[in-house]
Structure 1
Amino acid sequence: MDPTFLALDALSFVQEFNEANPSRNRRALVSQSISEPSRSTCTSMNSMFVDAGCCNSGHTVWGLVLRNLNGETVFSACKREDITAEPLLAEALGVCWALQVATDQGINSVSIYSDAANVVNCINKRSNFAAINLIAQDCRNLMAGLANVSVMFISRTQNCDAHNLVSLAKVVGSRTWLGVAPLVSVYSVSAAVPAAGCNVFSCVPAS
């Protein structure tokens, strides 16, 4: 096996294990029940998918994918910063980044999708987490400047393109592309869903 793919695969399993097994000295974060977006909701607005990752090396990384009303990827970005952040904070910063990108790009109608249920709840004032309350308020301030915007929960399997860009950010740092980012299909081999082809609604096994 390629050592790079093996290392990324191992890192992905470690991240999933840590998310499912929070440290004993931290209060477990319990999210409210959130319904996932319907097909009609996904196709009525531009869709922006965002994900975050925390590295043992002291980096925090993010991935972002923007799709138009036809479900076509028109913009991709990844970002890496030399900061250490807890997963909850990293995910909240990711949503804030996505809203800032939408604002900078002049996109007034957009649905932001994140697979961090607690962050989505906090931004939508359905829960309260001291660690991210200020970031959640920043998100709401950015939302107030957009004509039609929502922040919604989406499952991990539906967020695979943004997740793959998180892995890419660990290697290439902060980059942006018009359309689909190169090499994303290569990194999907080491992601939680092997060799997946992704669309706006779900990940399906590649034929």
Structure 2
Amino acid sequence: MRFSPESAFRRMASGRMRRVCLLAGAGADSSALAWELLSRGFEVHPLYVRCGFRWERAELFCLRRLLRRLARPGLKPLTVMAAPMNGALAGHWSLSGRAVPDARSAADSVYLPGRNLILLSQAGVLCGLKGLPAIATAVLRGNPFADARPAAFAAMSRAISLAVDRRVEVFAPYLRLSKERVLARTPGLPLELTFSCLNPRGLRACGDCNKCAERALVVS
């Protein structure tokens, strides 16, 4: 596994790895990774996974708008897949909108059980269907959750490769970087088009949640 930015990008740029499934979202982190992959000449296949969370309609709208701005020859059409979590997470704030983590909440209050496991498994299916050898995710330094650790990504690489009967590698180029360092790498990124909110009102951010507070610091 490669987790420093340059070693990850070098590995991904070697021959067959240049075709990448990007776990896409409208937040600053995944938007920065999309921007950097395209700037480096990768063929990027963005994937958005719908799980039934409250923010998905607004985020998907903003993601499509952002991808139109980033459009260049290497960007392939957005794929949207569904992995509903309403059964496993019945009553959870991410579905109900009750007790949504606010601006004063701790970072680990936004934990979504098995989030990366779900995303990577869907990406693995897409890689199997399209013959893509790499998955890129924009997980950052300081992510406290077990499914965002190097060992989890290495294990998912092995599991996906076995399941689709072809070599697929998971890359997390920003895993050793803070959000500030990531954004410093992508000065051309249109931050005004990014979106990160846990409880939007229609297509607008609520302005009160944990993610809105985090984004306000980034944009400022």
User: Which structure has greater strand proportion?
Assistant: 1
User: Which structure has greater helix proportion?
Assistant: 2
Shorter-chain TM-score category?
A: 0.3 to 0.5
Q: TM-score, normalised by structure 1?
A: 0.39
| Larger RCO, structure (CA 8 Å, separation 6 or more) | 2
